[in-house]
Amino acid sequence: MPLKDYIGFCILIALVLLMPHLVANDYYLGVLVFTAFNCLACIGLCLLMGYAGQISLGHGAFIAIGAYSSGVLTTMLDWSPWTAMAAGALASMAIAFAVGIPTLRLKGHYLAMATLGFASIIHIIAVAATEITGGPAGLLDIPRLGLFGYSLDSDVSYYYFAWFAVVAGLYFAFNLVHSRVGRGLRAIHGSEDAASAVGINTNIYKIQVFALSAVYASVSGSLYAYYVNYIDPGPFDVMHSIVLVTMVAVGGLRHLWGALIGAVLLSLLPELLSMAAAPLKVIGIAYKPDYDILVYGGILLLIMMFLPEGLFAGLASASKSGTAFLMKLIKGGSIVRQ
């Protein structure tokens, strides 16, 4: 891992430790916990989209599998939350292999449509299988997660725990990206034919990274279930999968930091927009949360058309040209002085 990324980690950890002191309000702390869940899912999705060059429109379904595995196994079979979470992750991984092996063998983006279909099926099951999932009414009384005999009851403790999971997940992803596997994945994104010509088994790499990204999503779903203690099919619809893709694409496909920034920005965006509703009303625009989809769609469209590498790469190149410009100015200035 290059030095830059270590500095990034230091900044991230500092921000995570600082935020609870800046945010006094429990509600906003809760928003930050949800942001952590999105970040975790987006890290996995970024490995798939940015490195394997494949798109999944079904990550909401893996989140649902994680959440429902945790919910059903802990409430109905009295499993411990940790084993339930592991079971969910294993189930997600198995399903990812089952969906990925046939579709990733094909050229093109068949995975996108297969995962979209799969996500719709999972959502229909979550609504219709009332005996297991509770149907539209949902599952109640999911326990909180305990850690070394200490229950993560308060929002602050869960906040630290969720962001610890993000940092750990990110660290693992970075290690993967900078390993032999990661170099193979980047080669596949550059050119699949060239990658397979130098001896990379492109199919196996793509399938494995898809399964890994499913595990990330599943774990984030489990953590979500243990945090809100109640799940219903509402948040796991196809739209959520598309929002996750939006987060990764807006932040930057090619870089994990981009995915993280995209996830944070777009998770906080609804809050910012609802805060902006009051001043907007003054100038005669009645903003409703319903309009969020327009804002998301507009941002995604603009980024993809004009900044296809995403915000992170855009900012990086802007800061690079900015420093180059400054250097020029300074040098130019020194020339003038001479």
Task: Tell whether residue 113 is a contact of other proteins (CB under 8 A).
Answer: yes
Give rounded-to-5 percent helix, strand, coil for the chain. 80, 0, 20
Cβ-based neighbours of 50, under 8 Å, separated by 6 or more: 189, 248, 252, 253, 254, 255, 256, 258, 259
Task: Tell whether residue 97 is a contact of other proteins (CB under 8 A).
Answer: no
Q: Which residue's entry shows tokens 């890290």?
A: 43
The residue count for binding other proteins (CB under 8 A) is 43
Task: Tell whether residue 249 is a contact of other proteins (CB under 8 A).
Answer: yes
Residue 182, H or E segment: helix 180-190
Q: Which of 15, 106, 276, 330 binds other proteins (CB under 8 A)?
A: 106
Q: Which of 120, 157, 196, 203 binds other proteins (CB under 8 A)?
A: 120
Task: Tell whether residue 293 is a contact of other proteins (CB under 8 A).
Answer: yes
Task: Tell whether residue 291 is a contact of other proteins (CB under 8 A).
Answer: yes
Task: Tell whether residue 82 is a contact of other proteins (CB under 8 A).
Answer: no
Selection from 29, 146, 124, 122 nearest residue 67 by Cα: 122
Task: Tell whether residue 193 is a contact of other proteins (CB under 8 A).
Answer: no
Q: What are phi and psi of 255, to 5 degrees?
A: -140, 135
Distance of CA 235 to the CA centre of its chain: 15
In angstroms, what CA-CA distances link 293 with 22, 52, 337? 29, 27, 55
Residue 289 has what DSSP assignment? Answer: G
Residue 214, amino acid: A
Task: Tell whether residue 205 is a contact of other proteins (CB under 8 A).
Answer: no
Can you read off the two tokens belonging to residue 36? 């952590």
Q: Which of 276, 301, 326, 327 binds other proteins (CB under 8 A)?
A: 301
Q: Give 60 or 81: the residue with its C-beta nearer to other proteins.
A: 60
Task: Tell whether residue 263 is a contact of other proteins (CB under 8 A).
Answer: no
Strand 146-147 and strand 150-151: the pairing is antiparallel
Q: Which of 48, 55, 67, 313 binds other proteins (CB under 8 A)?
A: 55
Task: Tell whether residue 330 is a contact of other proteins (CB under 8 A).
Answer: no
* Planar angle of CA 37, 211, 42, nearest 5 degrees: 30
- Judged by CB under 8 A, the stretch of 175-183, 199-207, 270-278, 293-301 that binds other proteins is 293-301
CB of 40 vs other proteins, minimal distance in Å? 21
Task: Tell whether residue 203 is a contact of other proteins (CB under 8 A).
Answer: no
- Judged by CB under 8 A, the stretch of 5-13, 49-57, 145-153, 277-285 that binds other proteins is 49-57
Q: Which residues bind other proteins (CB under 8 A)?
A: 49, 53, 55, 57, 99, 102-103, 105-110, 112-114, 116-118, 120-121, 124-125, 127-128, 238, 242, 245-246, 249, 253, 290-291, 293-294, 296-298, 300-301, 304-305, 308
